[in-house]
Amino acid sequence: MSEECYRESSNISEVEKAKSFISDNHLEIEKESEKLALLSNSVRLKIVLLLKNFNKLCVCDIGEILEVNQSAISQHLRKLKDGGILNKSREGLTIYYFIDEVNNPDLIGLLEKIFLFKE
């Protein structure tokens, strides 16, 4: 069986609309693609899922929950923060991480659909 594409007639108008759609949304596609790539790592995905369920956690909490050393957790948190998925706040000596839901509503909505979170 050949892998070439054969069609009886070309739908030039639909192809042009599709090209325009990709072109018009290129920047948003790239931005969201980078976020999804960050979440392709299971530890980072677990961190985001934990923060979705528990709102804010510190490095120590996350390391203990996932049984991963603090240095590795810190590196994952930095990548998620640099990628615009997380934010952080200081309370006394403790730094807490949380999901930046304002800048990630679509991403959070997607995670909610995939993992069926209950509000």
pLDDT, tens digit, 9 for 90 and up, residues 73-104:
999 999 999 999 999 999 999 999 999 988 88
Phi-psi region of 92 (alpha: psi -120 to 50; beta: other; left: phi over 0): left
| Domains contained in the chain, number | 1
Sign of the alpha-carbon torsion through 5, 7, 9, 13:
negative
Cβ count within 10 A of residue 17: 11
Cβ atoms 89, 96 nearer than 8 A: yes
Please give the residue that has the higher pLDDT: either 2 or 66: 66
In a domain, 16, yes or no: yes
User: pLDDT band at residue 8, thresholds of 50, 70 and 90?
Assistant: confident
Summarised one tens digit per residue, pLDDT across range 11-23 is 889 999 999 999 9
Tell me the C-alpha distance between 79 and 42, whole Å: 13
Cβ atoms 24, 73 nearer than 8 A: no
What pLDDT, on the 0 to 100 scale, is given for residue 94?
96
In a domain, 107, yes or no: yes
Cβ atoms 72, 87 nearer than 8 A: no
In a domain, 21, yes or no: yes
**Domain range spanning residue 32?**
12-115
In a domain, 92, yes or no: yes
Q: What is the CATH number of the domain that holds 46?
A: 1.10.10.10
pLDDT value at 117 more than 80: no
pTM: 0.80
User: pLDDT band at residue 2, thresholds of 50, 70 and 90?
Assistant: low
In a domain, 2, yes or no: no
